[in-house]
Amino acid sequence: MNIIDHTRRSKKSRIAHVRFVARMLLAIIITYGVIGGIRMARPLPEISYTATSIAPRVSNVAIPWPANGQTAIGDSETGVLLAGPTQNPRPIASVTKTLTALAVLRKKPLAIGQQGPEITLTTVDVNLYENYVNRDGSVVAVAAGEKITQYQALQALMLPSANNMADSLANWAFGDAESFVKYANIVATSLGMTQTAITDASGYSPETVSTPRDLILLGKAALAEPVLAEIVQQSTAEIPVQGVIRNVNTLLGQEGINGIKTGNTEEAGGCFLVSATRTLKNGKPHTIIIAAMGFPTRQLAMTATLPLLDAAAQNFDYTLLAPKGQVAGIYKAAWGEKIDAKIREDVRTFGWLGAEQKSKISLNTISYNQKKSQKVGTVQSADGKASSDVFLSKQFNGPSVSWRLQRAFKLW
């Protein structure tokens, strides 16, 4: 082979190699172009979001706690709202009869309008009467062979606070005092009365003790029992043998007071578990419960509750839970753009100012073309009674061309 032929062949080989490399590069470019195009056409990543926290709000509640005794404030819906500075278990005297009535009604239920079964009293009941008379306890007269309905017996228990009828009812409903005490303590525990111990049906025993906080829970349960709630509102009634009986709650009908029970013994001092319905600032009636115990006299315990009733009614009000325009969350796009989600209207809730006012924020998943001011979620009070829409404060601009190209052609 001569030199000319060899040169020609080398040149052809180089040209073929260049063409091969060019085809490979073109194939690669086309492949990346196709892949990039496919990537460019892919849906954009979901917009992520983070809800912000709205700190629970608690208002200072000024309550004129009395210098004497122990007290607590509650209502018929929530139970305990605020307990006074001292909460030591002490004798509760005839306030115990509220739990006795509740236990009897749970054992022997009555509906409004029903008198219930007739109870035939015996010499045992007469002996109970005479025993309490000798101890200077509050009583209603009874006679052997007397028939009294369950409803009338409950009236005798709650209105004139008859100790003998407490024991007679307990024996009738439960068979004996021991069985009653066991059941009554189970009821107290079920109500959350953790510092209460019941040792008798009348409360005459100083070993029957409780706290104002626990008595609020008892009052709430008593008002939830229709028959008992009806009886404690009665100023007078008429029963066999004794005739007309009167409620020892002399504040009944004043200041909206509609129950519940007084009590006093030498060991307990004066006690008062009172309920009153007041019209609040939202224009709606609301039942407040005050427990007072350990006062020098029953009358002092009763009068001590009046300023507390007023203060409690004044401390139910509207609270601004979340203001209009507050940031409820932040939406963030994969390309780095961030937009605030804001509360559209004030969220106000009505309730006890001393309670922790919580809120819940719920945000929705959105696309990047979500319109400005469109709803993207809600903020709601914990009780669900107040809420507002959450909206996007502006619209996403969308990803830039450079971000799209980087996303399309970045290496795996």
- pLDDT at site 2: 59
Q: Can you give 302-350 as a three-state secondary structure string?
A: HHHHHHHHHHHHHCEEEEEEECCCCEEEEEECCCCCEEEEEECCCEEEE
- 């066991």: which residue's tokens? 182
* Interatomic CA distance for residues 410 and 35, integer angstroms: 11
Helices (H), 175-325: 177-190, 212-223, 226-231, 298-314
Any bridge partners for residue 71, and if so which? 292
- pLDDT at site 22: 65
Q: Can you give 125-148 as a three-state secondary structure string?
A: HHHHHHHHHHCCCCCCCCCCCCEE
Mean per-residue pLDDT of the chain: 91
- pLDDT at site 248: 98
Q: What is the pLDDT of residues 52-69, one digit of tens each?
A: 988 888 888 989 999 999
Q: What is the pLDDT of residues 364-380, one digit of tens each?
A: 999 888 888 889 999 99
Q: Is residue 40 pLDDT above 80, yes or no?
A: no
Question: Residue 108: enclosing H or E segment and its boundaries?
Answer: none
- pLDDT at site 358: 87
Q: What is the pLDDT of residues 299-329, one digit of tens each?
A: 999 999 999 999 999 999 999 999 999 999 9
> Smallest Cα–Cα separation from 237: which of 129, 153, 170?
153
- Percent of the chain exceeding pLDDT 70 equals 89
* Interatomic CA distance for residues 390 and 50, integer angstroms: 13
DSSP state of 43: P
Q: What is the pLDDT of residues 241-257, one digit of tens each?
A: 999 999 999 999 999 99
* Highest CATH level, class, for 48-57+320-409: mainly beta
* Interatomic CA distance for residues 304 and 315, integer angstroms: 18
DSSP state of 11: H
- 């006074």: which residue's tokens? 84
- pLDDT at site 18: 64
Higher pLDDT, 168 or 21: 168
The answer to whether the bond into 239 is cis (omega within 30° of 0) is no
Q: What is the pLDDT of residues 98-152, one digit of tens each?
A: 999 999 999 999 999 999 999 999 999 999 999 999 999 999 999 999 999 999 9
- pLDDT at site 226: 98
Q: Where residue 412 falls among pLDDT bands split at 50, 70, 90?
A: very low
State the CATH architecture for 84-262: 3-Layer(aba) Sandwich (3.40)
- pLDDT at site 30: 60
